[in-house]
């Protein structure tokens, strides 16, 4: 039995389940028109690299006037997202959790979405997807030559660890701390500027 088979067997033996039994996995098809605007006139758009950044570098904005054109790229609170195109040895498949602060933002078509089914805690899905045994499955699914990619129809069939007795809301709260930290940073910067220009 290969190492990968042993991992899957162990997951099954301990109550592991298919990802699609607890969540919907998808990735928007097609591509939006690249037409960026200034911050005051648009909606934030995240790339695969940026979804993993607490402090986003080089954020782009989609025009508000074309909101309906981008509806398939919208993000919702509680979704787990991951770079679906990239490099296996890089950030491919590394999960992030969409928090209150990024509710209603947009993300590129290179980002996979995992939407919890009713009654499933997003904190559980995030931890399950982050598990080394799951990340190994993601790496095994990757295909491509110049750029590696994983497809939703394959990702939804991976086996994830079973839920255990755990306060999964603590995971969600931890992610919300990033929002709180960013808000405090902005307030501190404004305060310093106010003091400086007295």
Residue 65's φ and ψ, nearest 5 degrees, are -65, -20
- Taking alpha carbons only, the member of 13, 45, 17 closest to residue 160 is 17
Q: Could you tell me if 23 and 116 are in contact, meaning their C-beta atoms sit under 8 angstroms apart? A: yes
pLDDT attached to residue 29: 79
pLDDT attached to residue 106: 94
Q: What's the whole-model pTM score?
A: 0.86
The position carrying tokens 């602060």 is 101
Task: Inform me whether the pLDDT recorded for 3 exceeds 70.
Answer: no
pLDDT attached to residue 2: 58
Distance CA 36, CA 33 (A): 9
Q: Could you tell me if 61 and 67 are in contact, meaning their C-beta atoms sit under 8 angstroms apart? A: no
Q: Could you tell me if 24 and 44 are in contact, meaning their C-beta atoms sit under 8 angstroms apart? A: no
Rounded to an integer, the average pLDDT of 5-17 is 79
pLDDT attached to residue 43: 93
Domain spans of the chain?
A: 3-196
**CATH class of the domain comprising 3-196:** alpha beta
pLDDT attached to residue 146: 75
Question: At 30, is the pLDDT very low, low, confident or very high (cuts 50, 70, 90)?
Answer: low
CA distances 172 to 30, 54, 105, 117, 127, Å, are 31, 14, 18, 16, 10
Distance CA 40, CA 53 (A): 21
Task: Inform me whether the pLDDT recorded for 128 exceeds 90.
Answer: yes
Count of C-beta atoms within a 10 Å radius of residue 20: 16
The position carrying tokens 């940026």 is 50
**pLDDT tens string 54-96:** 888 899 999 988 878 888 999 999 999 999 988 777 789 999 9
Task: Inform me whether the pLDDT recorded for 33 exceeds 80.
Answer: no
**pLDDT tens string 152-168:** 999 999 999 998 888 99
Distance CA 26, CA 44 (A): 20
């Amino acid at each position: 039995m290969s190492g990968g088979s042993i991992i899957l067997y162990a997951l099954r033996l301990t109550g592991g389940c298919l990802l699609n039994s607890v969540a919907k996995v998808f990735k928007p098809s097609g591509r939006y028109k690249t037409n960026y605007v200034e911050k005051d006139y648009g909606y934030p758009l995240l790339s695969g690299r940026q979804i993993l950044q607490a402090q986003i570098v080089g954020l782009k904005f989609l025009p508000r006037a074309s909101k309906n054109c981008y509806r398939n790229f919208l993000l919702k609170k509680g979704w787990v997202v991951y770079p679906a195109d990239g490099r296996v040895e890089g950030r491919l498949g590394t999960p992030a959790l969409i928090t209150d602060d990024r509710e209603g933002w947009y993300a590129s078509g290179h980002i996979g979405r995992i939407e919890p089914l009713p009654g499933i805690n997003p904190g559980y899905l995030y931890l399950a997807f982050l598990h080394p045994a799951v990340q190994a499955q993601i790496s095994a699914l990757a295909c491509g030559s110049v750029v590696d990619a994983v497809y939703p129809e394959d990702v939804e069939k991976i086996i994830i660890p079973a839920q255990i007795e755990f306060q999964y809301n603590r995971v969600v709260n931890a992610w919300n701390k990033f929002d709180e930290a960013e808000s405090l940073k902005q307030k501190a910067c404004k305060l310093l500027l106010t003091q400086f220009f007295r």
